[in-house]
Structure 1
Amino acid sequence: MWQQFCILSLVLATVRAAGELKVLSCPKSLKFEGHDALQSWNVGDLLVAAQGNAVTSDSEWMGLAIVDPFSLANMAVVVVHVKGIQSLRGVNKSASFELIGADSGDALDALVSELLWANETINEFNFDKRQGAIAAMQRHYKQKKLQLPKSKKPLKHLTPSQYQSHRLFLADLQHINLLSSNLSTLIQPSQMLIVRISLEQLVKSSQNELINVQEAKELLLAAINRLLIAARNSSDSLLFVLITDKQLKSNEFAKRKRKPDENNPFDMDEKANGDTPVIFNIILWFMVAFVLSLGFICYTVATIDPGRNSIIYRISNVNIDVKKNA
């Protein structure tokens, strides 16, 4: 029974959320090996441990081995986090590990907060929060208006003039290319650079999802490779990690399996929204509480003692005495 429960939990985790952690560049002082899956909330601890610091996590993941702990102090770390896709093919990786869950973004948030609290130097550009990332780049380059490099590759399927999500995604790629063109000031020994970008809005707004997302992946892959080359040229000891995760809800997974029947009035796929689970839980637990309460009341009434101490006996006894006196 317990074995079946574990298997079911792993299947549900794979359906609801999945991702990958790929090591694109690794110094000789570290060694990534094996194919063990990693819990996504342990990503931050992995990066901290890779820098030679102690962690309090109880994870038993065995994919990282420290070969030379004395050279970790000069290592720079670059993390690219891509939200909205499960994996990104075509990158030259030295190691790849499956991520269980879609909590890597929260793990990076916790890592940033921990490093800032410890007064450590960290450069983060989160294009999922676009205004903050652009403001951080303006402060770094000391320019009110950034001169973004123009894309030389013509677009085949993405239409930035029609969809705002396409236009914002291409703008984010231009900002990443700008980081690549002047990366030496951002990558210093024992420092960390985190770049985040999301494809969720682009996926939601795309009519032809497969074609548009495929082109977006190709453009993103070119930007990441450009950032990787610039990082290798800026630091001799470099750990470059690519993280992708995609959260797939159970109702979205069911919709991918079948199309809704428009002629069936009881088909609730089109009518379901974000409030449906809340309403369902309210009705479910109210009915459970109501049935339990009703059963308790029925059991109490059925097992009541009809003796002289009961209120039923006292009331009926008074009525009998009144009739005798009359």
Structure 2
Amino acid sequence: MTVSRLFPNKMAVTMALFWVSLVLSIIGSNASGEFNILHSPDSLKFTGSGKTSESLLKEIFSAALGLSVEENSEWKGMYVVDPFNTPEAVVEIYIDGVSSLGHTGLKTKTYPLIVDEYEPDTYQGVKHRIKQRFTNGGNKIVNIKLTDVDELKKNIFGDAKKPKPTKLSLMHLKYNVEEDYHFLNELASLQAITTKIENGGIVPDNMIDFYNLRFRTLHPLCDFHGPNSPQTKEAKKLLGEAIDQLNKAFIKAYDGSVLVTLVTTDVAHTRRAIRSAPAAGPDGKSAPEYEWQTKEFKAENETDDSYSSEYPAIFNIILWFAIVIIFSLIAIVYALMDMDPGRDSIIYRMTSTRMKKDN
């Protein structure tokens, strides 16, 4: 029996493969972002414009710091020009939920980013390699979600009072709008970190350091107002200016021996249910412009949070797996409907009630 008898309907098989490929391509193209170089020392050279993957960022950062890497990559965007003068620190500013900040005035070297991890392990990977290399410790390894008060106090401010950030002149954003309030509060934390660094909060000690700062509130603001709204454009502009100031502060603190990067991704994150921002402060005035979130307010947010951090990944896995299964089932049903039982299938021949007899 020929192969064509076993697989009679080639069109149906081809259609099934087409749908599977289409769904997988949608998954890959739906998650994208940018990897931006804000500053790099002379010992590193960034060239070209080829795509890189989020799963390879830990290899890029490790190679930049002179650490061993575990995975080979064909990406040719970075070259270590002087392996004896690698940067003393790497900074990753991670912006959740947007593929790009757009035209914010930041001078960057930009590479398209393939987002192949829903929960990137860049920080843990680099941290593990630094600790393997420097067993005596002493390295500054900081991972901060800018919405987390305890992390900021522990890793940046300690027992000191949070510096007062620069006063903003707002045109479209409002403090009595929940999404705007949380964005501006997180922006104030980023500005406060900049002020802390400018005031001598970082002293180089010839020990390599790694900073991961995660900004999370731009995504819900964009969802609420719309990606092309005046509020979103103003938010991106303010964030771009704050990142530029932070970049300059790190450059000055490390005397240029620092790699400062910006990562943006548009992976869909579930908006978490949080209580509305207070419309007025205890003094009866409008909500404080740069209020340091209290532990009580943070506790309320966590109480209303009905989704775990793994929810987006689980949801996407189930959703796209179900879509693949549905389209594959449709293709199989279509092929069976067009099948001739007497001619096409070996199954019908082997299970036929008419048995052949020898003459």
Contact 2:90 2:211 in 1 (8 A): yes
**Alpha-carbon separation, structure 2, partners of 1:286 and 1:9:** 14
Match of 2:215 in 1: 197
Q: Distance in 1 between matches of 2:234 and 2:112?
A: 24
Q: Percent of pairs identical after alignment?
A: 23
Aligned to 1:246: 266
* Match of residue 138 from structure 1: 153
- For 1:78 and 1:187, the matched residues in 2 are separated by 15
CA distance in 1, matches of 2:260, 2:232: 24
* CA distance in structure 1 between the aligned counterparts of 2:92 and 2:187, rounded to whole angstroms: 16
For residue 103 of structure 1, report the CA deviation from its aligned partner. 3.2
1:98 CA drift (Å): 1.4
Q: More helix per residue: 1 or 2?
A: 1
Task: Report the number of matched residues.
Answer: 275
Q: Counterpart in 2 of 1:155?
A: 170
Task: Calculate the TM-score normalised by the size of structure 2.
Answer: 0.64
**Pairwise mapping of residues 56-75 of structure 1 onto structure 2 (< 5 A)?**
56-72=70-86, 75=88
Alignment partners' CA distance in 1, 2:253 and 2:33: 28
Other-structure match for 1:317:
none
Is the Cα–Cα contact under 8 Å of residues 123 and 186 in structure 1 kept in the other structure?
Answer: no
Say which one has the larger Rg. Answer: 1
Structure 2 unaligned regions, length at least 5: 1-17, 270-314
User: Alpha-carbon deviations, 1:69-117, whole Å to 9, x = none?
Assistant: 1112x62211111122222331122x22111226385142442553476
Unaligned 5+ runs, structure 1: 250-272, 309-326
1:246-292 deviations in Å (ceiling 9; x for gaps):
1379xxxxxxxxxxxxxxxxxxxxxxx98876765665566678889
- In the other structure, the counterpart of 1:91 is 106
User: Which of the residues 7, 22, 28 maps onto 2:36?
Assistant: 22
Sort the Cα spacing of 1:150 and 1:278 in 2 relative to 1 into closer, same or farther, 3 A.
Answer: same
Q: TM-score, normalised by structure 1?
A: 0.70
Alignment of 1:1-326 (within 5 A): 12=26, 15-72=29-86, 75-88=88-101, 89=103, 90-93=105-108, 95-101=109-115, 103=117, 106-111=120-125, 114-115=128-129, 118=132, 121-127=139-145, 130-131=147-148, 134-139=149-154, 140-143=156-159, 146-163=161-178, 165-183=179-197, 184-186=200-202, 188=204, 189=206, 190-198=208-216, 199-206=218-225, 209-236=228-255, 237-247=257-267, 299=348, 303-306=352-355
Q: 1:41: Cα distance to partner? A: 1.4
Q: 1:301 to 1:28 in 2, by over 3 A?
A: closer
Q: What is the rounded CA distance, in whole Å, between the counterparts of 1:298 and 1:10 in structure 2?
A: 32
Q: Offset of 1:167 from its aligned partner? A: 1.0
Distance 1:187 1:45, change over 3 A: farther
Q: Classify the secondary structure of the residue corresponding to 1:70.
A: coil
Q: 1:104 to 1:78 in 2, by over 3 A?
A: farther
Q: Which residue identity lines up with residue 226 of structure 1 in the other structure?
A: Q
Tell me how far apart the structure 2 counterparts of residues 179 and 102 of structure 1 sit (CA, whole Å).
Answer: 30
Structure 2 residue identity aligned to 1:243 = V
